[in-house]
Amino acid sequence: MPSRRTDPLTLEVVELIGDVVARYHQEYEQAAASHQLTGAQARVLGLLAAEPTPMRRIAQKLKCEPSNITGIVDRLEGRGLVERRPDPADRRVKLAAATEEGLTTADRLRESLDFAREPLAGLSDVERTVLRDLLRRMLG
């Protein structure tokens, strides 16, 4: 009997997940470019639209070096999409935060991502709930 890692069903599921991820990244990069952003800039802006965040935490979430985040935030700040401000809880820490223009851009970017909405719209509420719960379970 084949192991669970190499059985044909598992291999097909892994391949399909890879296809979904690749399609998402391709559309995300295209959407970012339509707003004159790189994919990394768009991801940082999306995080900051949710809440002001210390740059070290952004780097942790995106699994990259803090110096990379500094450069990305510098470029976003230069475009007026992000600002740095002191953390009210610890004045030594700088938070990066989306400006009003940054929030608007992040909303437009999110709205231009049809990939998730289009195929998910073909699933019932029950199917989307099952998919969500299975993905959560896979991620632990």
Task: Judge whether 91 lies within some domain.
Answer: yes
* DSSP H/E element including 92: strand 90-98
CATH number for position 79 = 1.10.10.10
Over the Cα atoms of the chain, what is R_g?
18
> Where is average pLDDT lowest: 22-36, 66-80, 95-109?
22-36
Task: Judge whether 93 lies within some domain.
Answer: yes
What pTM value is reported for the model? 0.78
Domain count along the chain: 1
Task: Judge whether 124 lies within some domain.
Answer: no
Q: Is 138 helix (H, G, I), strand (E, B) or coil?
A: helix
Answer whether residue 114 shows pLDDT above 80. Answer: no
- What integer best gives the mean pLDDT of the chain? 90
Task: Judge whether 59 lies within some domain.
Answer: yes
Residues 28-55 as b/e (b if ≥16 CB within 10 A, e otherwise) read beebbeeeebeebbbbbbbbbbeebbbb
Task: Judge whether 50 lies within some domain.
Answer: yes
Domain extent at residue 67: 38-111
Q: What does the pLDDT average to over 10-23?
A: 90
Write the pLDDT tens digit of every residue in 36-87.
999 999 999 999 999 999 999 999 999 999 899 999 999 999 999 999 999 9
Amino acid at 8: P
Reported confidence tier of residue 25, pLDDT bands at 50, 70, 90: confident
Q: What does the pLDDT average to over 4-29?
A: 86
Task: Judge whether 54 lies within some domain.
Answer: yes
Task: Judge whether 3 lies within some domain.
Answer: no
